[in-house]
Amino acid sequence: MTPVQTIIAKELRCYFVSPIVYVIGAVFLAVVGLVTYWAVVNAGSQALRLMQIQNTFAYLNMNELVFRPVFMSMSMIVMVILPLLTMRLFAEERKLRTIELLLTSPIGVNEIVTGKLMSVVIVYTVLLVLTGLIPLTLSAYVDFDWDPVFIGFLALLLHGAFLLSIGLFASALTENQIIAAFISFGMILSLWLIGALGALAGDTVLGSVLSYISFSEHYRRMVRGLLALKDVIYYLSGVAVMWFAAHQAIDAYRWK
């Protein structure tokens, strides 16, 4: 096993023997299920209304009426839930002093950071795959275009990976898991609000810069079914920046 694989295997083991993943996963899936149920009911009632007005059988655009609002809601649900998944990554190692084992082993800080990030991305991917049951179930009853759904899931994966890397960095800053979670909430919320500010500033230079920094616009575009390289690059570079920041934080911790 390579050092990165070793770290991943251990992290996954720790995730799945602790109740946290199951609790977080259950809450996540329940909330997403409720949101979807609401969206489907809402879409149904809209279709009924259309039918009454036009007196014809309306075509239900599932992508627009169900998946888009569900993906938008899911992006917010993960903003609340993912910091709880990442908070333990380094904070717990620092608290239990197991970080001393990692840093005195013949393995680089880059491998530790990469392994930890990949492990939590894997856990998150498992949760996402489980929510894939939603479109699968719906496809039994209605026809819809699968492409925007796949792009939506890709957006959720990239969005989640970015949030997880923020959480990883926050966890590297402290030995208190609660503080780590709050730092990541703060960072994620700020990034979100920057997007709102950018929308407020409109088509000015400041507006477009703010909109670029925030994930809001990038995410919204992808959820509409538009797969643009710049949005993918935005998320990947966000992950890279946070990976580097976490690496620096661990180095700084040793020098303190």
Partner 1 sequence: MIDVQHVTKQYGHHRALDDVTFAVEKGEIVAFLGPNGAGKTTMMRILTGYLPPTEGRVAVAGYDMQHEPLEAKRRIGYLPETPPLYLELTVHEYLTFVGRLKGLSEEVLPGRLDRVVQQTGLEDVRSRVIGHLSRGYRQRVGLAQALIHDPPLLILDEPTVGLDPNQIVEIRDLIKRLAGSHTILLSTHILPEATALCQRVIIIHRGRIAAVDTPEQLAARLRESEKLRLTVKTPPEDFADRLLTIPGVVRVFPHLSSSNSFLVEAELGHDIRDDLARFAVNTGVGLLELTNVSMSLEDVFVRLTHSDEDLTPAVQTHASRASV
Q: Which residues bind partner 1 (CB under 8 A)?
A: 1, 3, 6-7, 9-10, 13-14, 17-18, 96-108, 254-256
> Which CB atom, from 93 or from 217, has the smaller least distance to partner 1?
93
Instruction: Please state the closest distance from residue 88 (CB atom) to partner 1, in A.
Output: 11
User: How far is the C-alpha of 39 from the C-alpha of 19, rounded, in Å?
Assistant: 30
User: How far is the C-alpha of 207 from the C-alpha of 218, rounded, in Å?
Assistant: 14
Which residue's structure tokens are 């797969």? Answer: 227
Instruction: Please state the closest distance from residue 89 (CB atom) to partner 1, in A.
Output: 13
> Which CB atom, from 9 or from 51, has the smaller least distance to partner 1?
9
Instruction: Please state the closest distance from residue 30 (CB atom) to partner 1, in A.
Output: 25
Instruction: Please state the closest distance from residue 256 (CB atom) to partner 1, in A.
Output: 8
Amino acid letter, residue 206:
L
**Residue 31: CA atoms inside 13 Å, Cβ hemisphere, count?**
17
**Alpha carbon of 127 to those of 25, 77, 93: distances in Å?**
6, 13, 24
Instruction: Please state the closest distance from residue 87 (CB atom) to partner 1, in A.
Output: 16
- Three-state DSSP state, 42: helix
Which residue's structure tokens are 């919320």? Answer: 189
Instruction: Please state the closest distance from residue 163 (CB atom) to partner 1, in A.
Output: 25
**Both tokens assigned to 160:** 């989640």
Alpha-carbon torsion, ordered 122, 123, 125, 129, to 10 deg: 130
Instruction: Please state the closest distance from residue 103 (CB atom) to partner 1, in A.
Output: 5
User: How far is the C-alpha of 233 from the C-alpha of 251, rounded, in Å?
Assistant: 27
> Which CB atom, from 3 or from 207, has the smaller least distance to partner 1?
3
Residue pair 191/214 in contact by the 8 Å Cβ criterion:
yes
> Which CB atom, from 60 or from 120, has the smaller least distance to partner 1?
120
Kindly provide the residue ranges of all beta strands, DSSP E only, lying in the chain, ordered along the sequence. none
> Which CB atom, from 117 or from 149, has the smaller least distance to partner 1?
117
> Which CB atom, from 55 or from 104, has the smaller least distance to partner 1?
104
> Which CB atom, from 21 or from 242, has the smaller least distance to partner 1?
21
Buried b (16+ CB within 10 A) or exposed e, 228-253: eeebeebbeebbeebbebbbebbeeb
